[in-house]
């Protein structure tokens, strides 16, 4: 009996570890949730600096050519969880949705970690500084 309980406990913690690992695959989560707008290569939408006909901005790249690295961790997290309109406020309209209902906090962090992992050291260092100043 003791052996069975130990086995059950081992299986349960193994299942948890697998689930955690799956949830933590930032690159896969990025492709599932973000790539449709921000691009499979993080390249963003064409002409992303110009407002579209509806007066809203296209999705910017998340690679080093964009400005995601200009923002500290907290603001990046809040934009992803709550959406740009909620973070900017004042009636600002944006096509960047909030993912708070569909992604766990840890999944959002894993995606942002994946995005950061693609930046060269200069951008990473700048972003770390911004995070410290937040
Ligand atoms: C439906 C299209 C769409 C999807 C899907 C989407 N985004 Fe966005 N995202 C946008 C748009 C459009 C903007 C620019 C919004 C603005 O500035 O008004 C943006 C902006 C952002 C910004 C701010 C970047 C900056 O430099 O200011 C972050 C961070 C971001 N998105 C993260 C994500 C993440 C992470 C995901 C996936 C979990 C995601 N987005 C999925 C459309 C999308």
Task: Check pocket membership of 34 for ligand 1, CB cut-off 6 A.
Answer: yes
3-class state of residue 125 by DSSP: helix
Give the predicted TM-score (pTM) of the model: 0.87
Q: Look up residue 92 and give its DSSP letter.
A: -
Is the domain defined by 2-133 classed in CATH 1.20.1370.20?
no
User: Closest ligand 1 atom to the C-alpha of 111?
Assistant: 35
Q: What is the pLDDT of residue 3?
A: 72
Higher pLDDT, 1 or 60: 60
Number of residues assigned to the chain: 134
Residue nearest to atom 21 of ligand 1 (CA): 96
pLDDT in tens, 82-114: 999 999 999 999 999 999 999 999 999 999 999
Q: What is the pLDDT of residue 24?
A: 78
Determine if ligand 1 sits within 6 Å of the CB of residue 45. Answer: no
Q: Look at residue 17 in the predicted model and tell me its pLDDT.
A: 57
- Evaluate if residue 16 carries a pLDDT over 60: no
d(CA 122, CA 64): 10
Q: What is the pLDDT of residues 23-43, one digit of tens each?
A: 579 999 999 999 999 999 999
Element spanning 36, H or E: helix 35-38
| Cα 125 to chain centroid, rounded | 18
């Amino acid at each position: 009996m003791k052996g069975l309980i130990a086995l059950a406990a081992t299986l349960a913690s193994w299942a948890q570890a697998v689930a955690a690992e799956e949830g933590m695959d930032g690159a896969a989560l990025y492709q599932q949730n973000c790539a449709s707008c921000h691009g499979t290569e993080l390249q963003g939408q064409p002409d992303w600096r110009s407002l579209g006909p509806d007066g809203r901005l296209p999705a910017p790249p998340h690679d080093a050519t964009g400005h995601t690295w200009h923002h500290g961790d907290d603001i990046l997290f809040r934009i992803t969880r709550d959406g740009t309109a909620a973070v900017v406020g004042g009636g600002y309209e944006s096509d960047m949705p909030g993912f708070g209902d569909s992604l766990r906090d840890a999944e959002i962090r894993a995606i942002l970690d994946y995005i950061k992992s693609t930046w060269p050291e200069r951008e990473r260092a700048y972003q770390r500084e911004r995070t410290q100043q937040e």
